[in-house]
């Protein structure tokens, strides 16, 4: 039995390390590069399709501050994130760390996934970092209709490139629990990741107007005194290791036909 590992809140070194990972290109292969969006993959275990993915998008008309707000705003995410099934905050740990739940739809016929993560964020000069990793909380065990995935390390680096422009880098290493078919990795790097980036940029363009009508001054990620979440002690959490979760084999599943056609015409109207 693996001992319950103590949860650590990321320190400045962890943020700097994450920033370095976002900027490094060594050991990564480009799988998509057009319209100001680039996607890289790093295969870790070929036989399980275990990989890391990195996407970078240059945004000419989105200020870094807006991007940061959009990625934090859970109310707004429910509106623009078409893959979300359910998302909510569980509790806060410090002024720049909390714990949250997120479940999402996976490409058919895969089972949908969920995660519980410790999220932390830090403005660094003109840039911002938001990152997370999976934790376990006794009150939120895995559900029977969802596969509990594991975020080994996922996050965003937002770099200020001008008063109304920024670069967004998304880096993710998620263990989806189980063996995925090759088409999922190809599809996520060549279609789903670029689509998700485009969705974020559209959401950013619409945010100022939406926020004007929805508690415009309420931004607890900028003003910690507005955060009404109850505090949870670190001792209630432990690190979620992939090994302790059920492993499901979906490697032989083929992509469902309706899903293929549904996505094929999307590129044109984005």
pLDDT-based confidence at residue 51 (cuts at 50, 70, 90): confident
Does residue 260 lie within any of the structural domains? no
Beta-bridge partner residues of 151: 174
In this predicted model, what pLDDT tens digit does every residue of 148-157 receive, in sequence order?
A: 888 889 999 9
User: Would you say residue 83 has pLDDT above 50?
Assistant: yes
Q: What is the chain's Cα-based Rg?
A: 18
CB 38 within 8 A of CB 53: no
Does residue 74 lie within any of the structural domains? yes
Does residue 151 lie within any of the structural domains? yes
Does residue 158 lie within any of the structural domains? yes
- Which class for 97: exposed (0-12), middle (13-18), buried (19 or more C-beta within 10 A)? middle
CB 15 within 8 A of CB 131: yes
* Whole-number Å distance between alpha carbons of 146 and 105: 10
* Whole-number Å distance between alpha carbons of 82 and 78: 8
Over residues 18-45, the mean pLDDT reads 92
Alpha helices, DSSP H, located in the chain: 12-23, 64-72, 74-80, 182-187, 193-213, 257-264
In this predicted model, what pLDDT tens digit does every residue of 234-253 receive, in sequence order?
A: 999 998 877 666 666 666 65
Does residue 245 lie within any of the structural domains? no
Question: By percentage, how much of the chain surpasses pLDDT 70?
Answer: 81
* Whole-number Å distance between alpha carbons of 91 and 62: 30
Does residue 155 lie within any of the structural domains? yes
**Which is nearest to 154 in space by CA: 109, 227, 104, 211?**
104
- Which class for 43: exposed (0-12), middle (13-18), buried (19 or more C-beta within 10 A)? middle
pLDDT-based confidence at residue 193 (cuts at 50, 70, 90): confident
Entry pTM: 0.86
Q: Look up the CATH number of the domain holding residue 95.
A: 3.30.530.20
Does residue 230 lie within any of the structural domains? no
Torsion of CA 200, 204, 206, 212, to 10 degrees: 130
Per-residue CA distances from 169 to 18, 102, 125, 162, 185 (Å): 11, 20, 17, 16, 19
Estimate the crossing angle of helix 193-213 against helix 64-72, to 10 degrees.
90
Total domains in the fold of the chain:
1
**Which is nearest to 177 in space by CA: 224, 232, 112, 127?**
112
* Whole-number Å distance between alpha carbons of 120 and 99: 9
Does residue 262 lie within any of the structural domains? no
Per-residue CA distances from 61 to 57, 89, 155, 159, 256 (Å): 12, 30, 22, 13, 37
Residue 158, CB-side half-sphere exposure with 13 Å CA sphere: 28
Over residues 180-187, the mean pLDDT reads 66
The parent domain of residue 58 ranges over 12-181+190-216
Over residues 30-55, the mean pLDDT reads 86
CB 41 within 8 A of CB 9: no
């Amino acid at each position: 039995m693996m001992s319950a590992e103590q949860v650590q809140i990321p320190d400045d070194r962890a943020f700097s390390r994450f920033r370095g990972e976002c900027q490094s290109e060594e050991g990564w292969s480009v799988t998509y590069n057009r319209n100001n969006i680039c996607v890289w993959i790093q295969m870790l275990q070929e036989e399980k399709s275990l990989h890391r993915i990195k996407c970078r998008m240059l945004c000419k008309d989105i200020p870094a501050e807006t991007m940061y707000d959009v990625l934090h705003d859970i109310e707004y995410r429910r509106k623009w994130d078409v893959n979300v099934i359910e998302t909510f905050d569980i509790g806060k740990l410090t002024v720049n760390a909390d714990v949250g739940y997120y479940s999402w739809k996976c490409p058919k016929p895969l089972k949908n996934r969920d995660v519980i993560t410790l999220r932390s964020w830090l403005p660094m000069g003109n840039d911002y970092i938001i990152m997370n990793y999976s934790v376990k909380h006794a009150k939120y065990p895995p559900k029977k209709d969802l596969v509990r995935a594991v975020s080994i390390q996922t996050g965003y680096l937002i770099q200020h490139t001008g008063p109304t422009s920024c670069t967004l880098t998304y880096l993710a290493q998620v263990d989806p629990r189980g063996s995925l078919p090759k088409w999922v990795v190809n599809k996520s790097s060549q279609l789903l990741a670029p689509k998700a980036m485009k969705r974020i940029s559209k959401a950013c363009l619409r945010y100022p107007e939406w926020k004007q009508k929805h508690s415009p001054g309420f931004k607890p990620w900028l003003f910690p005194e507005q955060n009404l979440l109850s505090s949870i002690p670190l001792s209630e959490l432990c690190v979620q290791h992939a090994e302790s979760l059920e492993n499901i084999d979906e490697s032989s599943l083929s992509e469902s036909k309706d899903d293929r056609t549904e996505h094929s015409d999307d590129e044109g109207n984005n």
